[in-house]
C-alpha cells in the first residue's frame, strides 16, 4: 500500500510538471514570454521566441503563403535589377500576395520612397557591410508633416533591415514655419525594423498606426521624434536627443481615450546632447508610453514627463516606468502622474503579446544574393 501511495505521489508530481511545461510552451507560442531582465539574455530570448516562418505554428495564413513564394530583386547603383529603390517598388504588382525582398546595395539614394497600401509583404534590406543611406529633404511646409517622410510605409507586413533613413531638411530654428520633417512613417500594420537608423530633428518617426516592432535600431531627434497612434515595441533601441533651444521630448503618443495603442521601450538606451528632455508629453488626452529596463542618461529631465500644460490630462495619461537604470531614471522628482510599475503592471508591455507578435513577427531577413 505504501509503495502504491508513493507511486501515485510521483505520478501526480510528474503530471503537474508536464502541465506546467505545456502551459509554458503554449504561452511562448502565443507570444507571452516576458522579456528577460538581463540584457545579455536578450538575443537568446529573441531567437527562442521568434523563429523562421517554417518553425512557427500561429502565423497569419496570408503571411505563410507570402513567405513560401518569396523572391529577391536587387537595387544597386552599379548594376542590379534597378538603380533606384522606387523603380523596384513600382515593379511590384498591386495586390501583391508574395514576399518581395528588395536588396539594396551600398551608397546614397536620394529618393522619396512610398510603399503604397496595395503592395503588402515588401522587405527592404541593405547590405550589412555597406549600409545604404536613404535620404530626402521633405518638410511640412511643402508636403505636410505626415507626408514629408523620406520612407513612407502604407502597406502591411513590411520588413526592413540594415538601412540609414535620413530626412536631410535643416534643423528647425523656431522661426521657419513647416520645419517638421519626418524620416520614417509607418502607417501599415505588422511592420518590423531591424538594425535601422533614423535621423531627423522634429518628428523623426511618425509611428502612425498598427502593430510595429523595432529591434537594434537608432533614432535621433529633438522634439516629438517618435509620434503617432501606433502600438509598438522598441527593443534594444538607442534614442539620441539632440540639443535644441526649445523643449526636447522623445515621444508624443496620440491616444485620445482608451483605444488599444501605445509605445513600449524595453532595454533601450537614452543619450544625447540636450538637457531636461522629457520621456513623453501629453499631445492628446490619454497617451500610453512605458519604459522598462531602459538606461537613462543625464539628458532625461528629473521630472520625466510633461502634461503639456494640460493638468486635466493628469488622470488620463498612462506614463509608466519599470526597473530603469542610469542617472536619468531616478523617481524621486518625477511628476505626480508618473506610474512606477509593479511586475504585474509591467508584464503586458514587456512581451511580444503587446504587438500580437506570434501572428506575424519573423527574424531579420537574410536573403541570398
Catalytic residue numbers, as ranges? 224
Number of other residues whose CB lies within 10 A of the CB of residue 161: 24
Which residues contact residue 224 at a Cβ distance below 8 angstroms, ignoring those fewer than 6 apart? 202, 203, 249, 251, 252, 281, 283
- CA 327 distance to own-chain centroid: 24
Distance CA 280, CA 77 (A): 40
* Residue 198 and residue 183 in contact, taking contact as beta carbons nearer than 8 Å: yes
Give how far Cα 111 sits from Cα of 152, 202, 328, Å.
11, 20, 38
Which residues contact residue 191 at a Cβ distance below 8 angstroms, ignoring those fewer than 6 apart? 153, 156, 157, 158, 159, 160, 210, 211, 212, 213
DSSP state at residue 88: H
Burial group, residue 218, by CB count within 10 angstroms (0-12, 13-18, 19+): middle
Give how far Cα 316 sits from Cα of 232, 261, 274, 319, Å.
20, 14, 28, 10
∠ CA(65), CA(68), CA(73), 5° rounding?
115
Amino acid at each position: 500500500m505504501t509503495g502504491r501511495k508513493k507511486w501515485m505521489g510521483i505520478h501526480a508530481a510528474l503530471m503537474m510538471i508536464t502541465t506546467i511545461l505545456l502551459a509554458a510552451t503554449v504561452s511562448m507560442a502565443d507570444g507571452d514570454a516576458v522579456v528577460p531582465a538581463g540584457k545579455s539574455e536578450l538575443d537568446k530570448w529573441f531567437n527562442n521566441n521568434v523563429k523562421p516562418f517554417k518553425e512557427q505554428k500561429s502565423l497569419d495564413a496570408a503571411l505563410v503563403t507570402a513567405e513560401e513564394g518569396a523572391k529577391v530583386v536587387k537595387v544597386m547603383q552599379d548594376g542590379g535589377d534597378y538603380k533606384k529603390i522606387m523603380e523596384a517598388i513600382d515593379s511590384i504588382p498591386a495586390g501583391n500576395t508574395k514576399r518581395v525582398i528588395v536588396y539594396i546595395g551600398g551608397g546614397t539614394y536620394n529618393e522619396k520612397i512610398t510603399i503604397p497600401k496595395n503592395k503588402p509583404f515588401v522587405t527592404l534590406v541593405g547590405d550589412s557591410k555597406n549600409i545604404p543611406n536613404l535620404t530626402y529633404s521633405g518638410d511640412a511646409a511643402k508636403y505636410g508633416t505626415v507626408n514629408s517622410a523620406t520612407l513612407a510605409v502604407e502597406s502591411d507586413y513590411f520588413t526592413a533591415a540594415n538601412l540609414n533613413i535620413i530626412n536631410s531638411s535643416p534643423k528647425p530654428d523656431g522661426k521657419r514655419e513647416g520645419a517638421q520633417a519626418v524620416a520614417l512613417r509607418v502607417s501599415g500594420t505588422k511592420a518590423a525594423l531591424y538594425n535601422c537608423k533614423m535621423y531627423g530633428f522634429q518628428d523623426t518617426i511618425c509611428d502612425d498606426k498598427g502593430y510595429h516592432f523595432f529591434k537594434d535600431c537608432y533614432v535621433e531627434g529633438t522634439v516629438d521624434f517618435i509620434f503617432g497612434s501606433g502600438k509598438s515595441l522598441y527593443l534594444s533601441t538607442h534614442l539620441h536627443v539632440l540639443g535644441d533651444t526649445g523643449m526636447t521630448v522623445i515621444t508624443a503618443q496620440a491616444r485620445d481615450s482608451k483605444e488599444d495603442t501605445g509605445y513600449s521601450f524595453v532595454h533601450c538606451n537614452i543619450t544625447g546632447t540636450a538637457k531636461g528632455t522629457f520621456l513623453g508629453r501629453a499631445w492628446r488626452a490619454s497617451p500610453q508610453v512605458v519604459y522598462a529596463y531602459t538606461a537613462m542618461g543625464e539628458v532625461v529631465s528629473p521630472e520625466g514627463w510633461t502634461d503639456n500644460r494640460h493638468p486635466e490630462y493628469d488622470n488620463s495619461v498612462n506614463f509608466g516606468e519599470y526597473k530603469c537604470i542610469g542617472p536619468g531614471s531616478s523617481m524621486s522628482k518625477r511628476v505626480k502622474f508618473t506610474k512606477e510599475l509593479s511586475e504585474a503592471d509591467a508584464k503586458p508591455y514587456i512581451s511580444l503579446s503587446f504587438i500580437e507578435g506570434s501572428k506575424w513577427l519573423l527574424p531579420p531577413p537574410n536573403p541570398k544574393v
